[in-house]
Amino acid sequence: MPESDAQHLTFKLVYYGPAQSGKTTNLLRLHDLLAPELKGEVMTMETKDDRTLFFDLLPLGFRAPSGLLIKFRLFTVPGQVAHDGTRKAVLSRADGVVFVADADRAQETNNGESFQSLADNCARVGLDFEHLAMVVQFNKCDLPGAVPETEIRERWSAAPWPLVFAIALNGQGVETTFELLIRTVYRNFCQKLKLQSAHGLSEDAFVAGALGKNA
């Protein structure tokens, strides 16, 4: 459930996935691509070899017609297996998750293990994995060793989550991923938070505000 008071509503969105699948790159590109009313700097905590040690954070925000300030705080988790405790702490209280998988065929095992750890950790931090807003992004689709899109689509056909094929380095698919996620987030919370009824926010207006583009 998002944190809220009379003037604020904060959604916590978490980019989860195996090590070096491109979670931080997603955040950096979003920072460049999006132009919402309010946009903070990307706060990164990298070790010297560019691996995320704790998390990265990108704050975004816009004001609803009612005057309510809607904030998005995008976090990434550290992908390395050793940091599971940190991953769990970052994941807790999330309102939406992007699972960034590595499309490289050699990474299939790592993807599987990471996805399993996402499901396990959701259960441990009290998130309902079945109903969690989630988008699955297959990054690095341009790699020569990447699994073809048709094969991935076939494999995930039974899963309820939208799939996005991305090349985060040049920004391809990054915005789409974010948009699909906040659409699901909107549908999950519209009723509970009276986004439409009390704050005059339609789904498209919500998305437009977050992306900083006219609906």
Partner 1 sequence: MTLSFDHEWRLDELLDGASQEKIGPALGELLGGDFSITDDAGRTLWGQPVPEARREPLILELEPVGYLLSRTASAAALIAARNLMHVLLRAEIRFKMASTLHLESVAEDFESLKREHARLIESEARYKTLSAELEARVKKQVGDLEERKQMLYEAEKLASVGQLAAGMAHEINNPLGFVRSNLSTFEKYLGKFAELKSHPGSLAESWQRLDLDFILEDSVDLLHDSAKGMERIARIVADLKAFSNVDRASEEYTDLNHCLREAVSMVEAQMPPGVHFRFDLLPLPSIVCLPGHINQLFFNVIRNAVLAIADSGRPGEVKISSEADEAGIHIRIHDSGVGMTAEQIEHAFEPFYTTRPVGSGVGLGLATARNVVQAHSGRISLDSQPDVGTTVSLFFPTPP
Contact between 135 and partner 1 per CB under 8 A: no
- Residue with Cβ nearer partner 1 (53 or 159): 53
Which range of residues in 78-86, 100-108, 111-119, 140-148 is near partner 1 by CB under 8 A? Answer: 78-86
By residue count, the chain amounts to: 215
12 binds partner 1 (CB under 8 A): yes
Shortest distance (Å) from residue 20 CB to partner 1: 20
x/- binding map, residues 82-111, to partner 1, per CB under 8 A? -xxxx-xxx-xx------------------
Q: Which stretches of the chain bind partner 1, using CB under 8 A?
A: 3, 10, 12, 38-40, 43, 45, 53-55, 57, 59-61, 69, 71, 73, 75, 83-86, 88-90, 92-93
